[in-house]
Chains A and B, each alone.
Chain A
Amino acid sequence: MSDIDTRAEGTAADAYPPDALGRFGDFGGRFVPETVMAALDELEAAMAEAFADPDFHAERALMARDFIGRPTPLYLAERLTEDLGGARLWLKREDLAHTGAHKVNNALGQALIARRLGKRRIVAETGAGQHGVATATVCARFGLQAVVYMGEEDMRRQRPNVVRMRMLGAEVVPVTNGAGTLKDALNDAIRDWIANVEDTHYLIGTAAGPHPYPYLVRRLQAVIGEEARAQMLDRAGRLPDAVVACVGGGSNAIGIFHPFRDDAGTRLVGVEAGGDGGELHARSLGGGRVSILHGSRSFVLCDDDGQVVETHSISAGLDYPGVGPEHAALLASGRAEYIGASDEEALVAFDRLCHLEGIIPALESSHALVIAERIARDLGPSGDVLVGLSGRGDKDVDQIAARRGDA
């Protein structure tokens, strides 16, 4: 139990920065073609200036409240807790944020920074479509041009989000390379950025990519954990025994973990996509090796030669062979642990939350629920488990219905 540490303030969003080369321990850095090195330097400078500027914080806070709807609630899932007979399960309701997921926290902050850079064209990748929708949304709000790359397979399985992006005025570019999933969308988004770097900001959706993106995205997403930590102290009167979040690239997980980083009594548990439970999965931290992908050094699902291998997950947002470098560092240091949950387990947790709590979670977040439920059972009734409910599952209903022959 974590009674020892109930500090009023959590770890500051900018604490534990990367080193001068953008590294978290052995991970991170800048592995990109020379053409975009100058843009990364500019972004790093603009980020530092923005975070030192009270006007940036004021605008971000106002938009967070009135546009995104922050703070998002902390919800005690009473019936789920009762059903499991274990620790209390608290859900951080990012599914209630505008656009339906945590992605908008990052998209908003980066749009404000793009404006400071004088860049009017935004390029982004999307897997599940939540980051694409968030990007399209903030671009509409700030009058920026949005170009979103999305794998063809993902466009098929997350069709409602394709429609939403187009309604919001974004151009959605289908990506046919590779398996047509998130990795391939990142490749083409980065290539577009390389070609148009002088008037285009690359609005990466996860805590990966070349420095300073992983640090920037963590600072913008840390609001999830900051709010949740204060809400836990207020509502539960204590810090959680464990914080559980799903990890694809890792933005919602790093956002909810980071403010708890110095809370020694709180376990940080990331849940990766276990796929079919066998060979086909997307567990970069659980089954990958150290390599370079999309601009940084981290764990990557690749073969002995360094060639990236195909991944599988029922969840488009977790179907990615890489992971943000700070998660690699948290794994290496032992501060966080990373566990897999399979497609089938995620679907069971999905159903349980629908039926017991009246909440349709995203398939991504359903992976976190699998492990949160397991930890809650193990802890027993006196414990508290905080779950990052990173997004809502509206986008997934067609896919799940079709899978069940219910289309």
Chain B
Amino acid sequence: MNVPRPSLAVYLMADDDAPDLAEAAVQGGATVIELGIPYSDPLADGTTIQRAAQAALDRGITPARALEILREIDSRVDVPLVPMTYGAIVEGYGEEAFCRDAAAAGAEGLIVADVPPEESGRLRDAARDAGVDLIHLVAPTSRPERIRAAAEASEGFVYLVASVGVTGARESLDNRVAELVATTREAAGDTPVLGGFGVSRREHVRGLVAAGADGAIVGSAAIDAVERGGPEALEELVRDLAAGLSD
């Protein structure tokens, strides 16, 4: 996966409107699209993404349907696509089949929020065989040796968790982010480092980039924008955040 530097990744929930929203996000300056595949019990997610996931499930979005939506997005935008989901969904589908079908639908990377490196053996093999980059997470609470291991194991980009907690828009990011970025950046070599969890403002993006990150990931704030004003509001938010990359 070739993630440009600097980059703004935008998370959308796999739902019928996701292809339109992906176009709007890319129009606004998104360089990566993360597509959430809804799971009934998303432990790493705050209320915004929980609600979006439940709404998608209520509309009958299965993992197979989510991959169809991914394929449609792939036909409409020209940025790397990264499904994000949970271990139960990938295992329910079967790791090999999931990675193969996701790759066929246009996925270049994969994030599984509750599968840390220790548990990712089969998934790693399946992703490698399918040519999908498995992206690991580092957090402010991670010890340096874990940060190094995750950064080295990550392909595509390293997902730097910029807030202690679940996903959700916040006023400010964790005050240790600069230090975490420095440690991760050093261990990641050529792999880009993108910070997410809590990112909702241009100054968050600016702060991450100033600390040495290669960009940011926006999820809950993007979903909030869609709920507020559809694709137009999303595009506006993304344009504002993307401006933070080069401030």
Contacts and interface: CB of A to CB of B under 8 A. Distances in A.
Interface in A83-122: none
B43 A32 contact: yes
Given A305-B93, A306-B39, A292 B114 contact: yes
Interface stretch (B5-13, B83-91, B225-233): B83-91
Nearest to A290: B91
Interface stretch (A183-191, A217-225, A240-248): A183-191
Contacts of A194: 43-44, 164-166
Given A32-B43, A187-B41, A306-B88, A21 B118 contact: yes
Given A21-B119, A306-B88, A35 B43 contact: no
Contacts of B166: 33, 191, 194-195
B41 to A, nearest CB: 5
Contacts of B90: 306
A34 B163 CA distance: 12
A323 interface: no
* Interface bin, chain A: 35 or more
Contacts of B105: none
Contacts of A127: none
B43 A34 contact: no
A302 B92 contact: yes
Contact of B142 (A32, A37, A196, A293): A37
Interface string A292-305: 11110000101111
Nearest to B147: A34
A222 B18 CA distance: 51
Nearest to B141: A38
B40 A307 contact: yes
Interface in B17-39: 39
B119 A34 contact: no
Contacts of B146: 34, 37-38
A293 B141 contact: no
B141 A35 contact: yes
Contact of B88 (A21, A190, A302): A302
B4 interface: no
A118 to B, nearest CB: 15
B179 to A, nearest CB: 15
A305 B87 CA distance: 11
Interface in B54-98: 57, 62-64, 86-93
B141 A30 contact: no
A378 interface: no
A195 B118 contact: no
Contacts of A305: 62-64, 89, 92-93
B141 A31 contact: no
Given A177-B50, A195-B166, A31 B114 contact: yes
A34 B142 contact: yes
A304 B40 CA distance: 13
Nearest to B159: A34
A80 interface: no
Given A191-B166, A292-B91, A302-B92, A35 B139 contact: yes
Nearest to A20: B118
Interface in A37-77: 37-39, 41
A393 B139 CA distance: 44
B181 interface: no
A177 B51 CA distance: 9
Contacts of B164: 35, 194-198
B43 A187 contact: yes
Nearest to B37: A305
Contacts of B142: 34, 37-38
A308 interface: yes
B114 A307 contact: no
A37 B93 CA distance: 26
Interface string B141-174: 1110010001000000000010011100000000
13 contacts: A21-B119, A33-B44, A33-B114, A33-B137, A35-B165, A37-B139, A37-B142, A38-B143, A191-B165, A300-B88, A303-B92, A306-B86, A308-B88
Interface of A: 21, 29-39, 41, 177-178, 183, 187, 190-191, 194-198, 290-295, 300, 302-308
List of 9 A-B pairs having minimum Cβ-Cβ separation, nearest first: A306-B92, A195-B165, A306-B88, A35-B139, A33-B44, A34-B137, A307-B40, A292-B87, A292-B88
